[in-house]
Amino acid sequence: MTSPADLAGARVLVTGGLGFIGSNVAHRCVALGATVTICDTLDPRCGGNPANLAGIADRVRSIAVDIRDADATAPLVGESDLIFNCAAFTSHAQSMKDPHHVMSVNCDGVIALLEAVRRSGRSIRVVHVGTSTQIGRMIVEPATETHPEFPLDMYSASKTAAEKVLLVQAEAHGIPATAVRLANVYGPRANIRSADLGFLNYFIGRALRGEDLTVYGAGDQLRNVTYVDDVVDALIRVAGSERCSGEVIFAVSPEHLTVRELAERVATELGGVGVRSVPWPVERRVIEVGHQVLSADKAKELLGWTATTGLREGLAATRAYYAPRLGEYVV
């Protein structure tokens, strides 16, 4: 079994560190004794929130940097031992309206980071966050990391392209880099205001405000769902594993339910509100991937990692986090 990385004294850079995944990674790294630098542009379309640093704000360095800015990025990279690349434009729907921007942020940003790593002349480990929707519609169930990739929206396409850039650069220049694909992560520090940044966290936000939840059509498509602490555990384990260099790994819970079932569970556990079906908007229907049932066998084999937080436990912890600070996340 691979143990979590020993980060005591390590210099860690978290890109997109004010966002959902990045801020949770930053909290864990601080707890493990790392010296943490965060960079984030706080693009309002990407979900970053300064409130996510509550409790560690005086223990991290937070810098407003666009990862595409090579001149600004290179010094931060050069002084780091480990990079968690969580920076991305993440909206599936909005990516179809502004494809140039999403490709620029998600691809050019990765190129800038990796070029800075190469030019540093140091062995800097890179853990890159990807998405399960890179595969598009499922051909084989459950989907593994070797599943063909035919993404249906520009966000997913940009993440596919960024992942290939990562793997090419890692192989060519000996960069210890790993891509970790995530799926429907929920929990504390998420953006719970916008459906564009993840339907499950949006459901959670509506339920916490006592509002009805809406499901497109029958909502019968299956989804893996993973609590954020489990995801962070996987990312930290990847950072400490030599076996993971050059690999692509799904870090997902084996727990999967239909979108309708997830809405009903959220309503029951968080808000006691209703769930109703509405017609599919055309622009959403054309990018819908259908069922996604994903295998985490590779993560278990390489990392000894399995998600351990069930949906009920995860939703209870999520409710406990947001209850005293809801105003910081829904305004």
pLDDT at 1: 42
> Are residues 238 and 249 in contact, defined by beta-carbon separation less than 8 angstroms?
yes
Instruction: Tell me what pLDDT residue 84 has.
Output: 98
Point out which residues pair with 38 in neighbouring strands.
Answer: 14, 62
Whether residue 202 contacts residue 266, with contact meaning beta carbons closer than 8 Å, is answered with no
Distances (CA, A) of 277 to 71, 217, 265: 49, 6, 15
The answer to whether the CB of 315 falls within 8 A of the CB of 266 is yes
Q: For residues 70 and 39, what is the distance between their CA atoms, to the nearest angstrom?
A: 13
Q: Taking the model in full, what pTM does it have?
A: 0.97
At 99, list the tokens: 């494809």
Higher pLDDT, 5 or 30: 30
Tokens of 46: 């990407």
**DSSP letter (8 states) at residue 147:** S
Q: Are 189 and 54 in contact (CB under 8 A)?
A: no
> What is the model's pLDDT at position 3?
59
Sign, Cα dihedral of 230, 231, 234, 235? negative
- Parse the chain into domains and list their residue ranges: 11-258+264-330
* For range 206-231, the mean pLDDT: 96
Mean pLDDT of 218-239: 97
Fold for the domain defined by 11-258+264-330:
Rossmann fold (3.40.50)
Residue 67 CA to residue 50 CA, distance in Å, equals 18
**Binning pLDDT at 50, 70 and 90, where does residue 271 land?**
confident
What pLDDT, on a 0 to 100 scale, did the predictor assign at position 2? Answer: 56
List pLDDT tens digits, range 130-152.
999 999 999 999 999 999 999 99
